[in-house]
Amino acid sequence: MSKKILIAGIILTCSLFSCQSQDEEKQMVEKKLFGKLAGGEEVYEYKLKNSAGAEVKIINYGATVVSLMMPDRNGKIEDVVLGYDSLEGYVNDKSYFGSIVGRYGNRIDKGKFKLDGKEYHLTLNDGENHLHGGTLGFNKALWNVDSATSSDNGSSITMSYLSKDGEEGYPGNVKLTVVYELNNDNELSINYTGTTDKPTILNPTHHSYFNLTGDPNNTILDHELMIDSDNITPVKKGLIPTGKFSTVENTPMDFSRGVRIGEFINADYAQIKLGFGYDHNWVLNKHQGLQSKVATVYEPKSGRVLEVFTDQPGMQFYSGNFLDGTVKGKNGVVYKHRTGFCLEAQNYPDSPNHSNFPSARLEPGQTYRQTTVYRFAVK
């Protein structure tokens, strides 16, 4: 009897965390200690692999993607995201490398918004504004690992975080669950679900900095980008939306037919100057989830292609303008200006202060949902 329980226990543990003793081929989720926080809490790294030889490493501090190994057109597998070698890097990080950001991804004007007549004041961590959930947002939280499993079609990890009522100034106890899955088609999908016990706002996003060359010493300026969008939400000083929409037609913001990122990045154009390059929200033409390809990036030297699918109404394209050669990343590489780009699927920035933007409000009893997929291929 006790032997049976022991065997059942081993099988269960193996299916949850892909035990060392399992058949090599099926051993798709490996877990190892990544580091310890100042309070002694242990942070773990989970390696998800697929049958195509791709792999992603995720830590439960910030639910952060710390490396993403993808093949180029010759089958050479290289890391296509920026990050740090150690936990200390992530603890001190101000660039949000690879993490889940929130509660509100992007900016909230002066950190203020109203819900049912009551004004809330959020942490001001970006000059006079609130950015990416504040100083202790989702990216600085220790997430609970609910499960890490592998199947015939890849592997996945489920993490959750309970953000307490009042955290960084936001109302309501919010529970966010994030499922990262790497499947055998080289798709990294991110599924979010969130609930609250008081009316609140929720708009999380994923903040990987991609460099498809596989070498972060290169800039991302030769990557070609297509965004299926005809409008941006233009910004004023401080990268806060004006509340208007403006057409991308005949402007340096037009990526609808695909263009080299570097082509117009230094153009003498007001929005580019205000963003110090590209750092804007594109209003997505389609956002029906897996049916809607909203962006394609092609890197000609490696042949790597990244396609983004989402059900979110907007996408922030950030061209790494604030990388300035002061951050030392993985393998001692110093990340220079524009050596990574982010494609952050989300609601429009500052939507709580613009009634003409889609609402980010979440009620008790409702479930926030988001699906965003980063699909890798070669050309």
Which residues contact ligand BGC by CB under 6 A? 95-96, 239, 279, 316, 318, 322, 342, 344
Which H/E stretch holds residue 374? strand 368-378
Q: Quick one: tokens of 179? A: 């499922």
Shortest reach from residue 314's CB to ligand BGC, in Å: 12
* Smallest separation (angstroms) from ligand BGC to the CB of 343: 10
The residue from 30, 168, 181, 344 that is catalytic is 344
AA identity, residue 60: N
Residue 238 or 358 with smaller CB distance to ligand BGC: 238
DSSP state of 1: -
Which of 103, 113, 111 has the alpha carbon at shortest distance from 136?
Answer: 103
Interatomic CA distance for residues 130 and 167, integer angstroms = 13
Which neighbouring-strand residues pair with 57?
Answer: 47, 67
Q: How far is the CB of 342 from ligand BGC (least distance, A)?
A: 6
Annotation says 223 is catalytic: no
> What is the distance between the alpha carbons of residues 189 and 16, in angstroms, rounded to a whole number?
19
CB closer to ligand BGC, 186 vs 346? 346
Could you confirm whether 207 is annotated as catalytic?
Answer: yes
Half-sphere exposure of 288 (CA within 13 A, CB side): 3
Bridge partners of 30, per DSSP, are: 47
Phi-psi region of 177 (alpha: psi -120 to 50; beta: other; left: phi over 0): beta
Residue of 130, 132, 206, 207 marked catalytic: 207
Residues labelled as active-site residues? 207, 344
